[in-house]
Chains A and B, each alone.
Chain A
Amino acid sequence: MYRRLLININQVRNRLIHTHNTRLTLPSTKCKERESFAPVTWAPCTARPLGTSSISFSENKESSTSLSEDKGKTPEETEVNAEVNTDGQRNTEMNEGTEISNATLTSQLETEPVVKPEDRKQVETTKSGKESLLELLGAMKVEVTTVRKIRPSKTPRMSERPDQEPMESTHSMFQRAAAEGSQQHGTLNPALVAAVSAAASTLPNRHQAESELLKQLRKHEAIPDTQRRADIGHIISDMKVGKRPNGRSNVRPTSQIRFDDDGKGYTQDRGITSELDGVRRRKSPFTSKRLNLFAAAAEQDALSDLGPTLWDIDLVNQIVQATNQMPRNGFEEMIQWTKEGRLWQYPINNEAGLEEEASVPFHEHVFLEKHLDESFPQQGPVRHFMELVITGLAKNHHLTVQQKKEHIDWFRDYFRQKEDVLKEAEAYLN
């Protein structure tokens, strides 16, 4: 039943296409009685212009439906829907622009304690299915609000369609389903009613017979409704599937923007924002989420202790083969030669060519006295001569330390060999 009511909402939205509804024989005066309540409960709404009032209505409805845990409120909500339905019956003669009355009427009904007996009966019969209803309403939430939101933007009937088309998603699907349902109603019921009155006119107690027949008819109609529930359930579940995954989050911000303006730039508004959304979303696929297979700070893999393997050498070789290694100018050719070791390298500091002596500190070169200590005389002309020799060596930058040592060693040997001569001349004092 609730599903049927939901359909009825959409029937109203469909510009009240079907005018003859057998169930809408209910007296509309019942609604009129409570008209005085309207300003009390909906005071802010009625004060607003037409468009916004209907929006706030839808907002209200959305919020109430979203509070689906509040079970007590949902039947009320469905009553509202039911009332929209009955309102629709009244509005058959009215034009679509009567949304304000629509709103006020529904507001009355929200407070209305008495539900029509028939409706109540239906509520009771399907009370067990309340859980599923809540689910359905939860799924419907978005749909209902979008329906209401579109409303202010269109004034002529024909302009509605193109407006809604970009929505495309579940909304139009729902509309189609609803249209089908309403078609069924519209074509079947007037014919039946006509047939009933024709049949009744043949009977003596005409009015009683007609009402009895209609009652019987209503009973019959309850059966196809329960049957149809399954189909529509399918459709609604389909709608849930068809919904875009981010539809909900998308609708919120854009719809808020739309409340502020007059609703004229609705489609453009949506186009630009969604486009920007798209740009933002696919800002860079390189920043997409990772697979999360590895811990971020995995330990460093221990390098093989044996140096490069054959495979490593081959990899390097392959890379060299694949890339362009041809020199583009003379300097690049010289770089290549330098790497091969064919060319003496260009000096990059004042220690070029110092490979041999790189680890020898300068004082080894300069302070050579320590080499004189052991076997040279401590004083005298030989000592004096050797001091001059090491002074000269200290200043010589062409020789390595080893060569300097060898030089000194040569003199040591020489003076040792000539020791006799020197002693004779009293020059070797030790």
Chain B
Amino acid sequence: MSAVMITRKVRKWEKLPGKNTFCCDGRVMMARQKGVFYLTLFLIVGTCALFFAFECPYLAIHLSPTIPFFAALLFLFVIAMLLRTSFSDPGVLPRALPEEATFIEMEIEAANGNVPAGQRPPPRIRNVQINNQIVKLKYCYTCKIFRPPRASHCSICDNCVDRFDHHCPWVGNCVGKRNYRYFYLFTTSLSLLTIYIFTFDIVHVVMREYPDGLISRNRHVQRVLVCFFTLWSVVGLTGFHTYLISLNQTTNEDIKGSWSGKNRVQNPYSHKNIFKNCCEVLCGPTYPSVLDRRGLMQDDMPVSATPAAPSSSSLSSSNPVPQTTVRSHTRTHTHTEPLHTLPLKWIEAAKHRIAMTVSIGGQRGLLFSVIHVVIWMWSHLVAFLLIEQIDS
């Protein structure tokens, strides 16, 4: 009967539902699986390190010292954009508190009227008119809200995200309203950086004479080929997102074909003007995070002999573990495993990746996921070749 309540102050991020991980006391917010993000970092930093170490000295002397200078600037911008995309809140919508959830349920029941016993109640959809088009808002059973237009629930992070674009494993986070422009700037600047390195790689190969003969020339050509393939993947992705921005569409809407087809609704968010669409997406206001991760809240912990006293403000089953103890698994495909098992692991991981993307995107997602896997396999090849270069 006499349970003593200890009230302590905790940061709100510790009690947030969903499958995100938080670092730096709530300042950094990412998805749970961060392995591919570490791979992205490794690929970018590794390739640039090789460029700066082996090619810049020659180019700086024989051509101009501004070449490594601009490469360094670009590199820093790419890393800044990557970290900004990965660490920021993509636009997560907080779940409805119990009173709001009950209020919405009552509204739904009132709208549905009396459903005869035995019959399934109609699906929870709300029709709204946006710019003279009817858009259906779906009800999210996890978050207990009607999703705002363009929002979608990410099953990987278990959150509803506003203006949901896609969940990007490369950056280890969802891409949504708040971080889409950083993601776009990341892919664009990475394309520019790859083109820059590729161009000067070729210049170097052409200019330099090889006293060692065929061996070091082949190694150089290898690096050029690797850059070439990576270039097409990243430039292709940048082109795809430029196309989406000019039409004011998200990847999610494009995959699901929300605005395509004759009988479907036309995109009500497009300004019908490419320049205006680009302005809105890239130069729009910087939306604040509504999550208030670092705010303080009271947490009641009952301290008594009886262990089964649930307190309302603590513990839902999907609570993230406080960040000081978590170190998530990183899928390291590199030095620690024998190289001959790598292809099998890649195939397994590729199958899993296709299944995941198709389950999210449906049939059109299959094409998207095939492209995604091809890019992903190429990047593994890049990593593999780079390591071989370092080792040999």
Q: Do A and B bind each other?
A: no
